[in-house]
Structure 1
Amino acid sequence: MALFGGLKTIYSKYQHRSSRCAYFCIPTLEVEVEKIRNIGISAHIDSGKTTLTERVLFYTGRIGQMHEVRGKDNVGATMDFMDLERQRGITIQSAATYTSWKETNINIIDTPGHVDFTMEVERALRVLDSAVLVLCGVGGVQSQTLTVDRQMKRYEVPCLAFINKLDRMGANPERVVLQIRSKLRHNAALIHLPIGLESDFKGIIDIISRKAIYFEGALGNKAVANVDDELGEKFLEDADLSKEDIIAAIRRCTLKKTFTPVLLGSALKNKGVQPLLDGVLAYLPNPSEVENFALDPEDNEQKILMNPSRSSAQPFVGLAFKLEAGRFGQLTYIRIYQGQLKRGGFIVNVRTGKRLKVPRLVRMHSNEMEDVQEAYAGDICALFGVDCFSGDTFVAESSRSLSMESMFVPEPVISLSIKPTNKNDIGQFSKAIHRFTKEDPTFKVHFDDESKETIISGMGELHLDIYAERIRTEYNCPCETGKPKVAFRETIGSIAQFDYLHKKQSGGAGQFGRVIGEIQPLGEDKLTSVEFSDETVGMNIPKNFIPAIEKGFRDICETGIISGHKINGVKIVLKDGTSHAVDSSELAFRLAGKGAMRQVFPKANPIILEPVMLVEISAPEEYRGAVLTSMSRRRGVITGSDSVEGYFYLFAEVPLNDMFGYATELRSATQGKGEFVMEYQKYAPVTPQLQDTLVKQFEEERLRKLKK
């Protein structure tokens, strides 16, 4: 850093508008599409996403005061508006806001970092044009970072990386960049260099503009830059390249996802936020630079490129990606991909075909809203009083029925029983369950006819715990929950043939249906799906009975055969069969499908699968032995480890069934200093001993019910 000792020219680059102002100048919706950015703030838990968003809102003048996630003033960060979020110090729901920087409108969605709420990240990235990937300067690439990166790649979202918390002891941005390259496979490079680290972190060097930027003032709201024309020679070999040339090249590569620029800062210490905003404008795309397609169901799902130009007369197309229960009814967040949406206008829900009026149109700032009369392509807004589900596509009244591609919804991995403590609260309980299942596709509920219990399923213990707590606090309905149950699955290990005849005669018309075919394993990459293929030739089975046969097979797949868990990872191939002119019916062939599945499944080497979690543990180095021992007891397979400043990070794959109660064990083994996070990784076969136990328990339970 001695290089900057002789820098003499000083000027103020970022002068934040007065923090005492009691108002914010709302950015108008009527701007050119080039002046819009739709970004998500995504990262591993505790990397500083919400704190960073709070600083962005402050430096752009959107809010007048900054508050901390776990602040002593009991106010909490703007984007964590739920009481539970402020109590626990974590983000549970993604929250949308908007602001303006250098005459560009920026729509921001702050997403949760905990894997249990991964659906919130999923649906945000589905509708956003780009993202800021936040990484801890100490922790670097962590387990949820990998998940978020996979989600970005799934929706082809370009991003820039922001290494946060450079004021913390052990911060090392160069090591984090190496992890971005090796673990995430990004072609990443620093475009900032730090001026000092840990407690000496004072600012950054912007390599592109050839300036050293220091953040002064109590709130870091003055960023002063030292300028030296000779500085560039230290970083740039080609003196003929201008700043504009370099920025344009970085932008092109970022948009093509062949390069990831890495910026530096410390949101908590108010350093590096304004240059990050400049980076968002310089390197991330506006809506016109992102290709979005709708599918035409009337033309073999033909892809139709959306036109985001605001001067275009193309009809309206929008996607509802998030639902909330608002003060005035259901609040539906919608991304507009084409055309414009007007208050009082009419739109059509493509899924239901219903014509709906837009009674109220708003823009969201956390849990606050501002009424607008119309919104345009590229905007993210919200509707009141529109009945729909997450993932529904809306089109203009006179438009053809186009449908936006749906978002990926992961399967739940854990279940537990739940019931209201007071039977008089059953009405409130039902309202809560209906609302939450509508809002969150990963929160599923069913009633078990055998046990007479309501079963809720989700992405983890915390996920279900949060919903049980919300039922209590938001609906005044205390609940009792049962022991968590793992979502085991049944599958097969080999191909087997079936030839099943369902025949029943009891006077009058009987039932007749014969099905012939085979069942096949789908392989490790499709262990969570079931496929059905009709390969019949001729009319031995009339085509109108084929859906009934498939329904019979899928009915059994929902209930399981050897352990009572769902069957996944199989393909049923129907090759032939026989029908009867009088006795064959949809019911007969549906029952034939069920019977064939019961007949063939035990012959196909049945296997029980269990969800395996990717677990990341961090603890002081002296507890490494105790943690390794605990992982061994829980059948954990160590996949990697790392050490940073006296702490070690352990990565392991562990069956979910063996992870219950681990939080207490880890705290005990590390004197409260150890932490862990986990996320769903894959389904894998259980041990032979566990499979025998599960099959035996299922048989005993079945016999017990038969005796009643």
Structure 2
Amino acid sequence: MSVTADGASHGSPDTAAEARRRRTFAVISHPDAGKSTLTEALALHAAAITSAGAVHGKGERRGVTSDWMDMERARGISITSAALRIDYDDCVLNLLDTPGHADFSEDTYRVLAAVDCAIMLLDSAKGLEPQTLKLFDVCRARSVPVITFVNKWDRPGREPLELLDEIEQRIGLRPTPLNWPVGIAGDFRGLIDRSAGDTYTKMHRTPGGATRAEEQPLSHADAAETEGAVWAQSLEELELLGEIGADYDEESFLAGKSSPVLFGAALPNFGVAQLLRTLVRLAPPPSAEADEKGRPRPVDAPFSGLVFKMQANMDKAHRDRMAFVRVCSGRFERGMVLTHASTGRPFATKYSQAVFGSERQTIDTAYPGDVIALVNAHSLRVGDTLFDGPEVHFPPIPSFAPEHFAVARALDAGRYKQFRRGIEQMDAEGVVQVLTSDVRGEQAPVLAAVGPLQFDVVKHRMEQEFRAPIELAHIDYNVARRTDAASAPVLHGLSGAEVLKRRSDGELLMLVHNKWRLKVIERDHPEAVMEPLLAGGVEADA
């Protein structure tokens, strides 16, 4: 089947008008805050699916659409980002579900290079958690506006005013609630919509939360009679919000100074419909993307796109490699021949697809904000630019500073070709960074990771996808610094240090046992280049 990315047929569409219909956003949070569940609920309310799943399927309920890897379904966590395209209310929503675990934060960072807005989930009981704080920093660094969704209000949690105060005090974002819960966390009755004249909607569960929650509009008089004291308390809190001026301001939101806040519960689908409407109404559409020299490329300029993710073997029946491309400008048409900016070579787009979790279908046309998957894109890497017409190079997506290192070796010498191909694939996808040296040789590459769970993913995929099981020998380094060819001979010979080359870009990295040893080396060799790498969206501590 072949479709256009807006679900319609067009003769000579206005690219700028199509861009205004797009909303491209990521769902981000600390682990177990409910990202994948919210993703399912949004797809359900947009009628993209008919029944929501759960991370751990029960009975005949399947796993979540966005968690498509076997390992994700087995462990109940998101390991890699997933793309879902949803048509809703004359808009095209490009939703990117991201891993929440800190060990996979580099994948989340790459996704944030391809979105115009982010939904940040907070657990009503836990509030701002360490990974949540890091992700807010990344959004701020990339100027990505944030909509906050306080999740799990159907379970015991904290006071809503306390959560708002924490957001403002700890991350400096002014919270502007768009709705307000009636009933404390764990006794969720319904929601007052501040953006619609304080209208009240009472929520009713559906069996297992597999279908849309039933919504019952009530007048204030009926709500007072039905809800009693909790209604009066909610009205008092609303009055306080009005007095302190906690009202939505578009300029402040887009500037990253405030965050619209909504309350709800993704599992029973409470408050999800309003979140969906808020995305359409408030999330910014695609705008001119700045190239690496800071020059904006308008959305109606000739086609350009940024590769923000690589993924292989999504479908066991199709052992292919897909490049996920955010369309930055222009109209994409399947079959067009683009220019690969880093090599200057032509790149044909005969096989282009729209992705919905692990499902995919051929896509003929796409516009700014859309995410397209280019099949068998073996020459592309994360951070590459593709363009048509005037040349453009978008800023590269930097790699994080790894903190965990292990030497990989094939357990079966007879499977060395598969071992090498698998390691190359892990490197191309950014599952880990692969480091090599003449001393260690190609048969013993060093895998560098932000967190140890990345090594589990590599071992699992090497065995299951490439039939090349590996053993990992962890090595005692936990600091990495960028160096150069002039400094490498001096640094490589020092005790507690080693210089390796990163396969993806050829950069030289110095690995050091710890920060104390690094300080000694910096003191003894001030002339040597030892530059910090990116860590969590900001530079690593020197």
* TM-score normalised over the length of structure 2: 0.81
Worse-matched range after superposition: 452-461 or 156-165: 452-461
1:251 aligns with 2:246: no
1:362 aligns with 2:362: no
Alignment of 1:410-421 (within 5 A): 410-421=400-411
Counterparts in 2 of 1:605 and 1:265: CA distance versus 1, 3 Å: same
1:552 aligns with 2:542: no
1:391 aligns with 2:383: yes
1:563 aligns with 2:542: no
1:28 aligns with 2:19: no
Amino acid at match of 1:417: V
Alignment of 1:370-389 (within 5 A): 370-386=361-377, 387-389=379-381
- Per-residue CA deviations over 1:671-700 (Å, capped at 9, x if unaligned) read xxxxxxx9999557xxxxxxxxxxxxxxxx
- Per-residue CA deviations over 1:276-327 (Å, capped at 9, x if unaligned) read 1111122211114xx42124xxxxx3x321212xxx4x21111111111142
In the TM superposition, residue 459 of structure 1 has moved relative to its aligned partner by: 1.1
1:38 aligns with 2:24: yes
1:204 aligns with 2:204: no
CA RMSD of aligned residues (A): 3.3
Alignment of 1:531-680 (within 5 A): 551-557=485-491, 559=492, 561-566=494-499, 603-604=524-525
User: Which residue of the partner structure matches residue 53 of structure 1?
Assistant: 39
Counterparts in 2 of 1:130 and 1:323: CA distance versus 1, 3 Å: same
Counterparts in 2 of 1:70 and 1:552: CA distance versus 1, 3 Å: same
In the TM superposition, residue 482 of structure 1 has moved relative to its aligned partner by: 1.7
User: Which residue of the partner structure matches residue 541 of structure 1?
Assistant: none
Question: What secondary structure does 1:337 align onto?
Answer: strand
User: Which residue of the partner structure matches residue 216 of structure 1?
Assistant: 204
- Per-residue CA deviations over 1:463-491 (Å, capped at 9, x if unaligned) read 112211111122222222223533345xx
Counterparts in 2 of 1:341 and 1:25: CA distance versus 1, 3 Å: closer
Question: What secondary structure does 1:41 align onto?
Answer: strand
Alignment check: 8 A CA contact 1:42 1:132 kept: yes
Counterparts in 2 of 1:67 and 1:233: CA distance versus 1, 3 Å: closer
User: Which residue of the partner structure matches residue 72 of structure 1?
Assistant: 58
1:468 aligns with 2:459: yes
Which has the higher relative contact order, 1 or 2, with Cα contacts under 8 A spaced 6 or more apart?
Answer: 2
In the TM superposition, residue 389 of structure 1 has moved relative to its aligned partner by: 0.9
Alignment check: 8 A CA contact 1:487 1:565 kept: no
For 2:399 and 2:32, the matched residues in 1 are separated by 24
In the TM superposition, residue 450 of structure 1 has moved relative to its aligned partner by: 5.2
Alignment of 1:280-359 (within 5 A): 280-288=279-287, 291-295=288-292, 301=293, 303-308=294-299, 312=300, 314-326=301-313, 327=318, 329-359=320-350
Consecutive unaligned residues of structure 1, counting only runs of 5 or more, are: 1-23, 240-245, 296-300, 490-527, 531-549, 568-599, 615-677, 685-708
Amino acid at match of 1:454: P
Amino acid at match of 1:252: E
Counterparts in 2 of 1:450 and 1:28: CA distance versus 1, 3 Å: closer
- Per-residue CA deviations over 1:218-248 (Å, capped at 9, x if unaligned) read 1343322224499999757999xxxxxx99x
User: Which residue of the partner structure matches residue 580 of structure 1?
Assistant: none
1:63 aligns with 2:37: no
User: Which residue of the partner structure matches residue 439 of structure 1?
Assistant: 429
User: Which residue of the partner structure matches residue 126 of structure 2?
Assistant: 139
Counterparts in 2 of 1:323 and 1:214: CA distance versus 1, 3 Å: same
Alignment check: 8 A CA contact 2:109 2:537 kept: no
For 2:499 and 2:75, the matched residues in 1 are separated by 34
* TM-score normalised over the length of structure 1: 0.63
Question: What secondary structure does 2:96 align onto?
Answer: strand
- Per-residue CA deviations over 1:409-462 (Å, capped at 9, x if unaligned) read 212111112222222121211111010100107422425725973321111211
Amino acid at match of 2:306: L
Amino acid at match of 2:42: V
Alignment check: 8 A CA contact 1:160 1:262 kept: yes
Counterparts in 2 of 1:101 and 1:223: CA distance versus 1, 3 Å: farther
Count of residue correspondences: 483
Alignment check: 8 A CA contact 2:72 2:78 kept: yes
Question: What secondary structure does 1:252 align onto?
Answer: helix
Counterparts in 2 of 1:682 and 1:388: CA distance versus 1, 3 Å: closer
For 1:178 and 1:157, the matched residues in 2 are separated by 21
- Per-residue CA deviations over 1:171-207 (Å, capped at 9, x if unaligned) read 4332222221111111113222111134321221112
Question: What secondary structure does 1:400 align onto?
Answer: coil
User: Which residue of the partner structure matches residue 449 of structure 1?
Assistant: 439
In the TM superposition, residue 156 of structure 1 has moved relative to its aligned partner by: 0.3
Worse-matched range after superposition: 36-45 or 317-326: 317-326
- Identical pairs, percent: 24
User: Which residue of the partner structure matches residue 515 of structure 2?
Assistant: none
Worse-matched range after superposition: 228-237 or 112-121: 228-237
Counterparts in 2 of 1:149 and 1:238: CA distance versus 1, 3 Å: closer
In the TM superposition, residue 605 of structure 1 has moved relative to its aligned partner by: 8.0
Amino acid at match of 2:495: I
In the TM superposition, residue 26 of structure 1 has moved relative to its aligned partner by: 8.1
Alignment check: 8 A CA contact 1:318 1:338 kept: yes
Amino acid at match of 2:181: P
User: Which residue of the partner structure matches residue 415 of structure 2?
Assistant: 425
For 1:681 and 1:429, the matched residues in 2 are separated by 33
Counterparts in 2 of 1:383 and 1:47: CA distance versus 1, 3 Å: same
Alignment of 1:146-185 (within 5 A): 146-185=133-172
Amino acid at match of 2:252: C
- Per-residue CA deviations over 1:594-630 (Å, capped at 9, x if unaligned) read xxxxxx97844899x9x9xx9xxxxxxxxxxxxxxxx
- Per-residue CA deviations over 1:580-602 (Å, capped at 9, x if unaligned) read xxxxxxxxxxxxxxxxxxxx978
Counterparts in 2 of 1:217 and 1:169: CA distance versus 1, 3 Å: closer
Q: 1:109 aligns with which of 93, 96, 112?
A: 96
Question: What secondary structure does 1:107 align onto?
Answer: strand
Amino acid at match of 2:386: F
Question: What secondary structure does 1:32 align onto?
Answer: helix
In the TM superposition, residue 144 of structure 1 has moved relative to its aligned partner by: 0.5
Q: 2:74 aligns with which of 79, 82, 87?
A: 87
In the TM superposition, residue 51 of structure 1 has moved relative to its aligned partner by: 0.4
Alignment check: 8 A CA contact 2:5 2:363 kept: no
For 2:6 and 2:214, the matched residues in 1 are separated by 23
Alignment check: 8 A CA contact 2:114 2:308 kept: yes
User: Which residue of the partner structure matches residue 17 of structure 1?
Assistant: none
Counterparts in 2 of 1:430 and 1:25: CA distance versus 1, 3 Å: closer
Counterparts in 2 of 1:447 and 1:38: CA distance versus 1, 3 Å: same
Alignment check: 8 A CA contact 1:191 1:206 kept: yes
For 1:179 and 1:304, the matched residues in 2 are separated by 37
Consecutive unaligned residues of structure 2, counting only runs of 5 or more, are: 11-16, 225-231, 501-520
Question: What secondary structure does 2:92 align onto?
Answer: strand
For 2:322 and 2:479, the matched residues in 1 are separated by 35
Counterparts in 2 of 1:384 and 1:561: CA distance versus 1, 3 Å: same
For 1:443 and 1:279, the matched residues in 2 are separated by 38
Amino acid at match of 1:473: Q
Alignment check: 8 A CA contact 1:254 1:283 kept: no
User: Which residue of the partner structure matches residue 477 of structure 2?
Assistant: 486
